[in-house]
Amino acid sequence: MKFSIRHYSGIFDMGTIIPLVAALIVFLLYVFFDLNITDVMPTIVLMRFLAVCGIVEVLFIVLRIAEFIYGARIFVEEDHLDVKMLLRRRRLYYAEIEDAKYGHYEVSRNNRGRKERSDSLLYKMFADDEKKEVRAELTFFLASGKKFRLNDNATNYVWKQKKWITDPDLDPDEDVKLYQAYKCYLHACRQFLTRQ
């Protein structure tokens, strides 16, 4: 079975931060050593380094947007899982997976600056300062001692969790694609172990 999730990895975020920091450090060294535009060779080196940092920055921004669009694909087969991400593929055999844990975590985003810049009086009065988002996480513990993590949006989880009190048969995670992949993995893994 195939599941498409909105996996988010922080590697492309680090790729957008590191070139900015490197460019700032080189520029500060340029100023610290009291170099100016009349020094031709150091100025050429600085401009080329800043151009390379700018190209790397744009490249990582494009990769971050592509990761957001592509997400990840999980293929549950009868003896293994295939996980395909933007720049990475991973095949996990059921024999090498010791345990799998499904859970949730919160991500908060600060909206205070956005509220101050807004022209809408209603938005300024009623919008929350922090927006919290619940994401689902699936962690595979491998026999080698490593962990392999996947995450996904859990958009209706909070709403369905509140509704769960009135409808106890409702599973708050039923709409989350990562949870569906986890359940499919558990079923396939049980069948694989009974065949062994």
Q: What is the pLDDT of residue 191?
A: 93
CA 118 – CA 31 distance, rounded (Å): 38
Cite the beta strand spans of 44-126 per DSSP E.
72-76, 80-84, 89-93, 97-110
Give whole-number Cα distances, 123 to 109, 155, 158, in Å. 16, 22, 23
Q: What is the pLDDT of residue 22?
A: 95
Q: What is the pLDDT of residue 123?
A: 67
138 phi and psi, to 5 degrees? -120, 120
pLDDT tens across the length of the chain (196 residues):
899 998 888 888 888 899 999 999 999 998 888 888 788 898 999 999 999 999 999 999 999 999 989 989 999 999 999 999 988 999 999 999 999 999 999 888 777 776 677 777 776 677 777 778 889 999 999 999 999 999 998 878 877 877 867 787 888 888 899 999 999 999 999 999 898 7
